[in-house]
């Protein structure tokens, strides 16, 4: 990040090498009050955000490299009698929007929904436990998407990513289908936004994973200062872990015209 003085405040610009190297991506700067408390608050939030976004491990001995990630547009279905809701399904002829761990989306329709598919292509039969977070690079928040916060992070074998068996998140019939589909919703102030999905893969999921979440924007300060949560020592708690980071580039498209009358 880079700070500069703008009038009576501070201007903050993203200079993350993983963002500024993206083609045709121009991000607007953010502004904060030029006070010690405001600056300390933003720096604490940014430190937490980038500590967890950039964390990495190779203790799974290359298994992470053989996990494929796909991202599809999905749609809802009508629930069957006696069932409270129906799982979303992949749209007919939906194409994989994730290429080389980069998702490019032009946002035309408000309310378009999407889902993940993970496939374990490792030759050995070791099952891994996936946990999915979204890192919002506009407000610098971190949200846990799978498993749902109400679920136990002590995942059973039913939630494991086994060799050759796809796991869907946000649609389908696998354990991740109880997660609502992902909605891409851009704000009115930006024409381009960037974020990151990060899939952690564990042999055993640590309870300390909850501390990664950062629900309050870096640019909103509630009363009091919360303590910074350092990176959990996953290696000591899980028997090995890895992660896949997927860049999400969202561009605002032209509004869709309704049918002629």
DSSP 102-151: EEEEEE-STT-EEEEEEEE--SS---BEEEEEEEETTTTEEEEEES-TTS
pLDDT at residue 261 is higher than 50: no
Residue with the bigger pLDDT between 138 and 78: it is: 138
Q: Is 175 exposed, middle or buried (0-12, 13-18, 19+ CB in 10 A)?
A: buried
- Give the model's pLDDT for residue 247: 93
pLDDT at residue 67, as a whole number: 92
C-alpha closest to that of 210 among 152, 135, 138 = 152
Query: What is the per-residue pLDDT for 258?
Result: 45
Q: Is the pLDDT confidence value at 228 over 70?
A: no
Q: How far is CA 165 from CA 128, 142, 242, 255, in A?
A: 12, 28, 19, 38
pTM exceeding 0.75:
yes
Cα 58 from Cα 49, distance rounded (Å): 21
Residue 41, pLDDT above cutoff 70: yes
- Would you place residue 227 in the very low, low, confident or very high pLDDT band (cuts 50, 70, 90)? very low
Taking only the tens place, the pLDDT of each residue in 208-219 is 777 889 988 877
* Cα(206)–Cα(235) distance, integer angstroms: 10
Mean confidence (pLDDT) of the chain:
78
* CA distance linking residue 193 with residue 249, whole number of Å: 6
Tokens of 199: 């899939």
């Amino acid at each position: 990040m880079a700070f500069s003085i703008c009038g009576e405040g501070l201007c903050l610009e993203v200079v993350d090498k993983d963002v500024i190297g993206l083609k045709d991506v121009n991000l607007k700067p953010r502004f904060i009050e030029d006070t010690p408390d405001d600056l300390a608050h933003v720096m604490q939030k940014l430190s937490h955000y980038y500590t967890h976004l950039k964390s990495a491990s190779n203790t799974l001995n290359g298994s992470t490299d053989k996990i494929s990630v796909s991202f599809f547009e999905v749609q809802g279905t009508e629930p069957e009698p006696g069932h409270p809701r129906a799982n979303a399904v992949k749209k007919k002829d939906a194409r994989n929007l994730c290429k080389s761990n980069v998702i490019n989306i032009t946002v035309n329709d408000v309310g378009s929904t999407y889902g993940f598919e993970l496939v374990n292509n490792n030759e050995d039969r070791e099952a891994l436990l996936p946990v999915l977070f979204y890192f919002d690079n506009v407000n610098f928040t971190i949200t846990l998407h799978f498993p749902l916060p109400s679920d136990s992070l002590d995942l059973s074998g039913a939630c494991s990513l086994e060799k050759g068996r796809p796991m869907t998140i946000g649609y389908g019939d696998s354990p991740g289908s109880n997660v609502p589909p992902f909605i891409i919703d851009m704000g009115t102030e930006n024409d381009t936004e960037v974020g990151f999905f990060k899939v952690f893969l564990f042999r055993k999921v640590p309870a300390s994973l909850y501390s990664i979440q950062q629900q309050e924007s870096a640019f909103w300060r509630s009363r009091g200062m919360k303590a910074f949560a350092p990176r959990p020592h996953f290696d000591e708690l899980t028997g090995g872990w890895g992660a896949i980071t997927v860049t999400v580039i969202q561009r605002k498209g032209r509004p869709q015209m309704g049918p002629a009358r």
